[in-house]
Structures are given as C-alpha cells and as structure tokens.
Amino acid sequence: MGNGLLLDRVWDLGARFPHATAASFVNEQGQVTESMSRADVVADIGEVAVFLRRRCALAPGDRVLLAYPPGLDFVRGLIGCLAAGVVPVPVYPPDPLNPQKTVDEFLRIAADCGAKAVLTDRTYAAARQLNEVAWPADPPWYVTPRASRFGGTRMSGFVPSVVSDWTPTADTVALLQYTSGSTGAPKGVILTHGNLAHQLDLLRDRLGMGLGSRSVAWVPPYHDLGLIGVILGAVAGGSELTMMSPLSFIQRPALWFELMDRVRATHTAGPNFGYELAVRKTTAEQRAGWDLSSLQMVLSGAEPVRADTTRRFLEAFSVSGLRPEAFCPSYGLAEHTVAVSLFGRSSVRVQQDLLATQRRAVRGEGSDSQVLLGCGVPTDDVDIRIVDPELCVPLAEGRVGEIWVDSPSKAAGYWGMAEQSRAIFQARLAGTDGDRGYLRTGDLGFIHDGELYVCGRIKDLLILGGRNIHPQDIEDALRDCHEAIRAGGIAAFSIDDSNAEALAVLVEVHADTSQQVLSSVVDAVRATVLRSHQLQCSVVVVGPPGSANKTTSGKLQRSRCRARLLDGSLQAQALLVEGYSEDRHSGAAPPAAPEKRRPSGRPVSTIPGSDTPSADELRSTVRSQLAAVLGIAVADIDVDQPLGGLGINSLGVAELSSRLSQELDTEVRAVDVINHPTVGDLATMLSRRGSHGRQPQEARGAAR
C-alpha cells in the first residue's frame, strides 16, 4: 500500500481487497449490528459524496457538521465529505438528557465555522424531533444515504464522476476538529490532507496498524484519538475495525475485553480512566477467561497516563495473557492531529517538590516522589523541544519546560483566528534566525535518555473523566449558586487521588456568613457543578475572604490554591472530601478520601400476590437509585424533572441502568434511561414491560 493521501489509500484498499471486512459495529450485548467491506466503504462514501454535491448543493471547502451517534454512518459521512471536498466538522450530537445546554454549544460551533449543513443518521434525526428544543432553520439537517440502500455500485476503485474535477493536495483543508475551548470561544483546529497522511504513516510504522491487524475500540469518534487514531487509522490503514459505543463500554466494561478475545484483537486504545474502570468493573474470574495474548498494542492516551493505573491494569490482566510490552503510553493533542510520541518504554521516579518548584526532574525515593511514565522517543521527522515558556530558550535534558513540537502533523492553525494561530503554531526559539515555527502545546515535560515525559500543564485546563474542562466555566456557573459566595473568590482546580484527577473547588464566603450556612454552601456548590457540568466535586473548601490566591493584577492562581490545600496551609471554615463534610477553623489538609456516602436503594416491595411492582413502587425505586447515583437526597428529585437537569452524565446513566437491572432483576439498558428521560417516564416504561413482557427494541437515539 502506498504513502499517498487518505483518499488514495481508501481507494487502493477497496480495489485490492474488496471483500475484506473494513469495519463492524456491535451493540451493548456484543452482537454485530452492521458491517461493511472495503468495497462497501468505497461505494458508500461515493454515494455520500454525490449526495453532498448534488442534493445538498455543497461546494469544495464548505463546512458541514457531523452529528451522528457512534456507528458506521459516522464513518461514511466523514470520509464521504472528504471525497466531495467538503470539510467535515465532527461534533457530539446534542444530548437528549440535557438538550438546551448541548444545543447551545452545538450552535456556537456551527456559527464559528460557518457550517452550511448538518449531517446525521435516521435514528438521531428521529430522536431530534422529539426534543422540545427550538432548532434554528439554519444550518439545514440531512440524513446521509448508503449505496446499499439506493442500489449503489459495488465497483472497486469507484470514484463518483461528480467530484472527479476535485483533487486534494497535501495543503488542502481536510477537516476541523474543535478543542474544548472556553464556553464562549470554541477553537477549530485546521487539519490538512498532509497532516492526516503523516499521522497514518506514524500509526502504521510505529504501531503496526496495517494489513492483517485487528482493532477494537470504544472511544468517542468525534475527536483526535477516536476520530483519527482509531477510525481513519483503521479504515485508511488496512486494520479491521470493531467499534462499540462509549456508553456500552461504560455500562459494561467487560464487553471491551469480550470483543478483543473474540476477534483476536491486535490493537486497542483508550484514556487512563478507561483502564482504571476496567480494573474496578471486571472480576478476576472474568479476566481468567479471556485470552488477550494477541494484543500487540494497548494505547493509553487522550489524558495523562498514570503509573499506578498502568501497574494495576497490567497486574489484573496478566492472567488474560496480556503482555506488559504491549502497553503503549503516548502523548498527543488535537493541534498535532493526534499523536506526538508513542510507545513509551521507560519510567523514572522523581522528587515532586523539585519538579513543581524548580522544574527539575531529579531522581527521588520515598513518599515525596512520584513515578512518571515515558511517552516514547520521537521519530526523526517529529522535532520536540523542551523550552522555557517565558524566555523561549531550549532547556537541557532533565529540565522541565513547555513542550514545543514541529512536524508534518502540526495543524495549520485555528479556524478564523489568524493572530492566535501565529502565536501558538509558529513560535520561534529565541536567538535563532531560522524559519522553523513550533507548536506551543501548553504542556510541561522533560527529556530523559531521549524519551519524552509529560508532567503537567501550563494552562489550568482540567482533564476529568476523559473530558477537557476549563476551570473558568465551572467558576462562572458557581457565581450565583448561593448568596453567601463572593463572586471574585471562586477557584476550580484538579487534585490527584492516585487513581485519576478529581475536581476540587474553593469558594470564599462573605465575612458575616454564619457557621450554620456553610453546609448549604457546600451543597449548592456540589449541586451546581453536577447540574452544569455533570461532574462530581470531590473536594469543596469554603473559606473566608482572601482565601483564593491571586496575582497583584487580580488573576487567580489556581496552582497555588491547589498547593495550599494539599500542604494544609489553606484556611477553611468548612471542608468536604468525597461526601465527608466537617466544619473547621484550622488548616484544611484533606483527610484520606473515604468511600462516598450515598443514599442506598431500598428493595422494591411487590403487590401481594404479584411479582410485578406497582407504578408507584417503581417510581420510588427509580428515585432512590437515581439519588444513590447522584449522591443527593431522594426528596430533591421530582418525578417529572428531566434527568439532564439533575446533572446526570453518561457514567451516571450507565450506573443507574446497572443498579435498576440488579434491583428489579430485569435488564434495564442505558438506552432505556435516555429514551425515557424523567423518573415518571422511566417508571411507566418499566411498569409496561413488567405487565406485558419485554418491549421490542426502541429507537436508540443518541445513545447507540
């Protein structure tokens, strides 16, 4: 297979291996619901390309939002856009559990890129009509076709004549991938066909993702790891791909490993929290029954790779035949298409205090040290420099600085942001006269024995549960949540609990706030963050005026707030750690986090003489289990309130469905929760199911 641009590779695979399976999608039971061959890929994306140019009257360069649930229609739409010269913009489809907030974010991206249309599948198009949301007329929505539905040609090498007059070059814009910019300022990263081609070469040469390999993945398809590292890497690289929904994985992590065992997978990928969840949510008996010896690469990326998680994962799955050398710590970011460095092979234990205060990586032992995993040695055509972020001078090996990178994978910039693009993508090293411009990643790292280690972030960006969260967004949401909170005294930051990053919030209250009010402040903070961002606050600190560190110009110093919390010097009037609350007037070093204290569900009492709970009993059960998931009082849940308004997220949906399945001794799927988004609706559906047997599978909406 050649080293051409992405479309050339897709056509080549279709011509050479027309009957080989390109991709399959499985449901939450692990059943294959759809698959397509290499010839199908070529025919289907050709059909989409013709549809876009003729039916939608789109021209090369027009931007189009892709709002699909996970599935093969997303793959068709994505590559069909590339074939037509239309610029795809993958986005999360608005969440039916929290439509208004997610619709607003969706429309901001549409406005920023000037989208001419939105593409989706029939399932989501139907679900969208059920939402009570005032959708604007523009951009218009279209359901993309498949060649199989319309009698399309299954010819190898098929190229639709309507787009034969358009041929991309390496510099042609291929797609936009939006980063998690602050609420009012989404940033679209411009990726060219040359960027994609370089990444495909990197994935093939460093990871072995090519002909004969088999990939299994659950990561969301809308961003760099799932979008390029998984989908395009497989479909244009020759690997046979088995996809599942992220929600299916979260609901039942064992499915990931069942699929890898079944297909004899060679490649997979996920963020750190996925491996942590896999250890916690699978049993030793299950792991002993899986054969994972075929895995050649288990990539960890998209969030910091943690040594403790890696150790626990490899220990837990050693019984499955998983080889430690298959684990692949990596580093990348959207602004560099996806990967910067891959297959870390070393680790180093360093002194935490010197790393944080002097920005030096010095070997250390004992309690004041931490283990960092290497993220790989860069390839010859990926130039990585460790740079003083203020002086812009290169630093020696072992010194901590900002990671700068330049390579053919470096994106062209941010859409419509020329000045910021120059500053971020064309940074110059001080004292050099060359034309070479570097991407400023905003991440901190160092080089040791030629390998890259990532150890922090210059920015205050939070990475929680695989999501990028701007602390300013959380702080803005908290400004009016309680009258006792001082608007200028709110700081959100992350802390490390050894398993993953957790959210901590510091709020200042007015000097005359009584002790009796403090618990209501804590409750308001937790409820607001849950509702606005679908996040649990692991630590809430309530302090007097002046508690939040600021610069002389008034800028919040979140890293100092974090340091003072952890060293015990932060004065607090009330402190909550993972559901444990105590009033205090002394230092607020958090105790070891106890188990979360949540309301426990009550067994459902059935009607005498009947095995079917009444509707009232089902409503009570759903309320109690939902309260347990969210960590709130049952009395705070209105049976007619949309679940999205309570702040439930995909993890919560999966946990609720699992709890209800156990409590009611019947299968309750995550899609059931999503399609019946109030306590009353869900209880009514469960009551009907109990009275009339299991209902036929319903439309899966955005959860598929």
Token code pair at residue 134:
């005032």
Based on the fold, state whether residues 297 and 366 are members of the same structural domain: no
pLDDT for the residue 606: 29
Based on the fold, state whether residues 482 and 394 are members of the same structural domain: no
Going edge to edge, which strands form the sheet with 537-543?
A: 485-496, 501-509, 537-543, 574-577, 580-583
* Region 219-243 average pLDDT: 94
More confident residue, 260 or 648: 260
The 10 Å Cβ neighbour count of residue 640 is 8
Cβ–Cβ under 8 Å, residues 83 and 193: no
pLDDT class of 151 with cuts at 50, 70, 90:
very low
Instruction: Give the closest residue to 624 by CA, choosing from 676, 674, 663, 670.
Output: 663
Based on the fold, state whether residues 50 and 186 are members of the same structural domain: yes
Based on the fold, state whether residues 100 and 227 are members of the same structural domain: yes
pLDDT for the residue 483: 92
Residue 419 confidence (pLDDT) above 60: yes
pLDDT class of 71 with cuts at 50, 70, 90:
very high
Q: Does residue 155 sit within a domain?
A: yes
Q: Does residue 471 sit within a domain?
A: yes
Which CATH number belongs to the domain containing residue 92 in this structure?
3.40.50.12780
pLDDT class of 584 with cuts at 50, 70, 90:
very low
More confident residue, 579 or 596: 579
pLDDT class of 242 with cuts at 50, 70, 90:
very high
**Integer CA distances (angstroms), 345 to 10, 325, 503, 704, in order:** 32, 8, 30, 36
Q: Tell me, what DSSP letter sits at residue 54?
A: I
Cβ neighbours for 662, distance < 8 A, ≥ 6 positions apart: none
What is d(CA 673, CA 685) in angstroms, rounded to the nearest whole number?
Answer: 10
More confident residue, 232 or 469: 232
Q: Does residue 596 sit within a domain?
A: no
pLDDT class of 611 with cuts at 50, 70, 90:
low
**471 upstream amide cis, omega within 30 of 0:** no
Q: Does residue 507 sit within a domain?
A: yes
Q: Which long-range contacts (CB under 8 A, 24 or more apart) does 18-23 make?
A: 18/154, 18/156, 20/240, 21/240, 22/234, 22/235, 22/240, 22/241, 23/72, 23/75, 23/231, 23/234, 23/235, 23/240, 23/241, 23/242, 23/243
Query: What secondary structure does DSSP assign to 276-334, as a single string?
Result: HHHHHHS-HHHHHH---TT-SEEEE-SSPPPHHHHHHHHHHTGGGT--GGGEEE-EE-G
**Which of 268, 300, 335 is the last residue in one of the domains?**
335
What share of the chain has pLDDT > 90, as a percent?
A: 47
Which CATH number belongs to the domain containing residue 541 in this structure?
3.30.300.30
Based on the fold, state whether residues 213 and 86 are members of the same structural domain: yes
Based on the fold, state whether residues 80 and 188 are members of the same structural domain: yes
* Region 634-644 average pLDDT: 79
498: Cα within 13 Å, side-chain hemisphere: 8
pLDDT for the residue 290: 98
Q: Does residue 121 sit within a domain?
A: yes
Kindly report the length of the chain: 704
pLDDT for the residue 559: 82
pLDDT for the residue 652: 76
Which CATH number belongs to the domain containing residue 642 in this structure?
1.10.1200.10
Residue 70 confidence (pLDDT) above 90: yes
What is d(CA 70, CA 219) in angstroms, rounded to the nearest whole number?
Answer: 9
What is d(CA 277, CA 186) in angstroms, rounded to the nearest whole number?
Answer: 30
Q: What are phi and psi of 49, to 5 degrees?
A: -60, -45
Based on the fold, state whether residues 157 and 69 are members of the same structural domain: yes
Residue 72 confidence (pLDDT) above 50: yes
**Which of 280, 314, 335 is the last residue in one of the domains?**
335
**Which of 440, 457, 474 is the last residue in one of the domains?**
457
pLDDT for the residue 186: 80
Q: What is the pLDDT of residues 564-583, one digit of tens each?
A: 888 888 877 767 665 434 44
What is d(CA 265, CA 400) in angstroms, rounded to the nearest whole number?
Answer: 37
pLDDT for the residue 499: 64
Q: What is the pLDDT of residues 79-109, one digit of tens each?
A: 999 999 999 999 998 876 666 667 888 899 9
Cβ–Cβ under 8 Å, residues 401 and 446: yes
The 10 Å Cβ neighbour count of residue 54 is 12
Based on the fold, state whether residues 531 and 560 are members of the same structural domain: yes
219: Cα within 13 Å, side-chain hemisphere: 31
Q: Which domain holds residue 651?
A: 615-703
Based on the fold, state whether residues 89 and 196 are members of the same structural domain: yes
pLDDT-wise least confident of 28-42, 159-173, 209-223, 285-299: 159-173
Cβ–Cβ under 8 Å, residues 235 and 10: yes
Q: Does residue 609 sit within a domain?
A: no
Based on the fold, state whether residues 446 and 418 are members of the same structural domain: yes
Based on the fold, state whether residues 330 and 352 are members of the same structural domain: no
Total count of domains within the chain: 4
Q: Does residue 268 sit within a domain?
A: yes
* Region 354-380 average pLDDT: 78
Q: Calculate the CA 670 to chain-centre distance.
A: 18
Instruction: Kindly compute the dihedral angle of the four CA atoms of residues 283, 268, 231, 413, in this order, to the nearest 10 degrees.
Output: 110
pLDDT for the residue 633: 78
Which CATH number belongs to the domain containing residue 409 in this structure?
2.30.38.10
Residue 590 confidence (pLDDT) above 80: no
What is d(CA 368, CA 643) in angstroms, rounded to the nearest whole number?
Answer: 43
pLDDT-wise least confident of 232-236, 343-347, 626-630: 626-630
* Region 426-447 average pLDDT: 90
Q: Does residue 589 sit within a domain?
A: no
Based on the fold, state whether residues 259 and 381 are members of the same structural domain: no
* Cβ neighbourhood burial of 503 (10 Å; 0-12, 13-18, 19+): buried
Token code pair at residue 17:
């291996």
